[in-house]
Amino acid sequence: MAWWMWLVVVVVALVGVAVVTLAVQAGRRSGTVIAVRRRPGGKGGR
């Protein structure tokens, strides 16, 4: 295989790793809405 083909493989692999990393990070940072039940005077109450 020619040297430039190896270069293409390496670049594609790096781009793939970057895309996966950013996607995982986006998933970890994505939020939701959570309902909990607190006893009066318990933690989280004002």
- What are the φ and ψ backbone dihedral angles of 45, each rounded to 5 degrees? -80, 150
Applying CB under 8 A, which of residues 1, 2, 5, 34 lies at the interface with another protein? 34
Taking only Cα atoms into account, the Rg of the chain, rounded to an integer number of angstroms, comes to 23
Q: Does 31 bind another protein (CB under 8 A)?
A: yes
Q: How far apart are CA 30 and CA 4, in angstroms?
A: 39
Applying CB under 8 A, which of residues 3, 4, 5, 32 lies at the interface with another protein? 32
CB-wise, 2 or 42, nearer to another protein? 42
Q: Does 18 bind another protein (CB under 8 A)?
A: no
Q: Does 41 bind another protein (CB under 8 A)?
A: no
Amino acid at 6: W
